[in-house]
Structure 1
């Protein structure tokens, strides 16, 4: 069984997009978020 190139490209693109989105959500709201600095808090008057 041979897969069409368009199907392989579409599935690959979708997997990469979901992986990047998942990593961004994990970094923003998961345990690594404690290490993020808020630049607006650093420069308050």
Structure 2
């Protein structure tokens, strides 16, 4: 059993890093899509009515 003072397995560190990166990117995408700045976004399909 590992204690808190022992070094973690490198695979666990990589997995946690990738998970944190994915969560950060997902959060940023949701914030961009639905956050306060979303009112400034325009729909390019509505801009070009054929």
Query: TM-score, normalized by length of structure 1?
Result: 0.90
Aligned length: 45
1:42 matches 2:18: no
Extract unaligned runs of 5+ from structure 1.
none
Structure possessing the higher relative contact order (Cα contacts under 8 Å, 6 or more residues apart): 1
Deviating 4+ runs (over 2 angstroms):
none
After superposition, the C-alpha distances for 1:1-45 in whole angstroms (9 at most, x for unaligned) are 111100000000000000000000010011111111110111114
Find the residue that maps to 2:7 and give its secondary structure.
Answer: coil
- Looking at structure 2, the residues matched to 10 and 32 of structure 1 have their Cα atoms a distance apart, in angstroms, of 32
Query: TM-score, normalized by length of structure 2?
Result: 0.82
Give the aligned CA root-mean-square deviation in angstroms: 0.9
Extract unaligned runs of 5+ from structure 2.
1-5
Larger Rg: 2
